[in-house]
Structure 1
């Protein structure tokens, strides 16, 4: 996914502190006022007033911690209705269940690198890593961000070996297709490259989840092309028995069925996702991985022909 009109490299739009202010404006303001007062105590007041200074500082720390905790899991609902068969991620799930080290590669363009997030920690790969580490606190989990703004399958295939396969990943999450739509690339040629990449990733022994384009104004302007790309990616997933995260349908559900305003999950450029959008996206991916681990532990064997990813 690109940084739409013109394509550019990823840039974070604001400092992490901004997110804290947005999360708890009512609670942060009094805390700041107390902190400001604490920073300039009145020398005329008695010595016991120093205890209020400490309390004010503690309050600021408490509010900041509370705001940070909110970002652990956002109020994010899965799509309502429709087919939600769970795909199988046997390799990464088996290693997590066995307590072995796990390497996950997030491969893609600017929505993988995190353009639009207010801090690196709020990109979807970092959100996913945090979720899995909370779920498996003793596990050795590495999530590597291999997103490059403006790229699609032609550029990604040139770096597939060094950026992905050389890392010997257990799971690859490949976000692809958005820039092909925006750049008017031939969808059939794009899919040929994706098929080649899927075959190489599978040959390396990794699980794979494809991620299709996002539901956003910039993509919706090219609805016919986007629809064709989504259909072709689903075809590859079905043919090769790999997972696919239906990002377009998930995001459309947020807006059309859950009545979430578009600007809650898409930033002002009309293309890239916001902190909340990345967070919900990461949560749904993480929930599926966690459920797959649970199936492995229970001895549930998901048939290989039930691989199409659907959020919980």
Structure 2
């Protein structure tokens, strides 16, 4: 992930120390050899060569504790275009993570509501995200804002403020950028919101699931045709697109948590 300025190494070091401190609940026999720790603690499923971008997720994986994720967003989080709620990306993500993180109870709560822009989502941030006490929120945003006339400056300010509130509550954040689709591309200014999500991720060290790039890649690589990718409305993804998005999100989460499970998942 790209970063801005020299402050990031300091933040990474502090997060690494935080993860190590959180492992105090691990038997003292492990910590007795702290000076001899290898780069990868395979027995904990955690890679410590760099501090993880998702320290709270990393801790749950390391100690084998339940992992709760809130999928926050609008219609493509809710699952509009899918044949059933079970085929929306949050439900598929839960299945994928449970498979990759064997023995860990993973719950992905769907808090997507179609048509919402940033202010709509912020109005329910406390109730639908923070009150659920997850370790991670995946925030899909920036799609409806250009359609609803939200200014790019307001979108940036509101999004940054919300991310800080979520983090202050002890919750990791992953952003998911707007989707690629002809309707959205034809909306004036829509690309600025996609760029804003990416730049906010860089600025705040927040991982970003680059959904538009993923969708272009699936078509280019022959995984899906455009007709297979989109539902009949031409705006939202269909089942196969949501399935691929869930796979990509699971892989991204494990990688950003520094989990050694990532390599195992790829090899399977």
User: Aligning the two structures, in what range does the TM-score lie when normalised by the shorter sequence?
Assistant: 0.7 to 0.9
Distance between the aligned counterparts of 1:295 and 1:96, measured in 2? Answer: 8
TM-score of the superposition, structure 2-length normalised? 0.74
> In the TM superposition, what are the counterparts of 1:162-201 in structure 2 within 5 Å?
162-201=127-166
> Aligned to 2:167, which of 191, 199, 202?
202
Unaligned runs of 5+ in 2: 1-51, 263-268
Distance between the aligned counterparts of 1:282 and 1:197, measured in 2? Answer: 24
Equivalence for 1:239: 203
Distance between the aligned counterparts of 1:294 and 1:158, measured in 2? Answer: 32
Count residues in correspondence.
212
Cα drift, residue 257 of structure 1: 5.2
1:264-291: per-residue Cα shift (whole Å, max 9, x none)?
A: 1111211101101111011011112234
Q: Does 1:98 align with 2:63?
A: yes
- SS for the counterpart of 1:264 is helix
> Aligned to 2:122, which of 157, 162, 166?
157
**Larger radius of gyration, structure 1 or 2?**
1
> Aligned to 2:180, which of 215, 236, 252?
215
Q: Would you say the 8 A contact 2:254–2:261 is kept in 1?
A: no
Unaligned runs of 5+ in 1: 1-86, 299-312
Distance between the aligned counterparts of 1:106 and 1:248, measured in 2? Answer: 18
Q: Does 1:279 align with 2:257?
A: no
Distance 1:184 1:257, change over 3 A: farther
Q: Does 1:267 align with 2:231?
A: yes
TM-score of the superposition, structure 1-length normalised? 0.64
> Aligned to 2:253, which of 278, 289, 297?
289
Equivalence for 1:310: none
Q: Does 1:129 align with 2:94?
A: yes
Distance 1:232 1:294, change over 3 A: closer
